[in-house]
Structure 1
């Protein structure tokens, strides 16, 4: 039983060394995870910024050209009305003999 009391200080030293090494490993793991998370967050932020720029361009195209598109549609309607009145009239009452 006395030999067990003699081993207690060595066991305590080994326990302290093991705990401190586990603590260092955990700190390294946390640091690596934090770095990885920060890197991913930066990538997501860059991707989000790029998407926001693209949406802004699309909004500008739609809003800037919106009036022009409506004007162009009306112009096409006007030319169709003029084209419908011009040209050779179709005689739909006569059908071709086949």
Structure 2
């Protein structure tokens, strides 16, 4: 498992065969992985073959899987919340933003 989705990135953990991990869609060719101990990183998508329907782990392929869509929506919500927070902070600090009423 790598720190970044890059072949030259440093390794942060080793995933053993049959180890239960959570996966989320990542950049093309990679999945974001979280181990049971909470270590997060990236691994090649082809290391996680597609799971049959009904399995508990998230699909490495993403796209139409409900868990993948939920993860995407959560990410978008978090990004939106962060953007609103930044705009409010800059408006309060006189950073050139003016909030509309």
Say yes or no: TM over 0.5: no
Between Structure 1 and Structure 2, the one with more strand by share is 2
Greater relative CO (CA pairs within 8 A, separation 6+): 2
Point out the structure with max Rg over C-alpha: 1
Q: TM-score, normalised by structure 2?
A: 0.33
Question: Structure 1 length as normaliser, TM-score?
Answer: 0.34
**1 or 2, which has the higher helix percentage?**
1
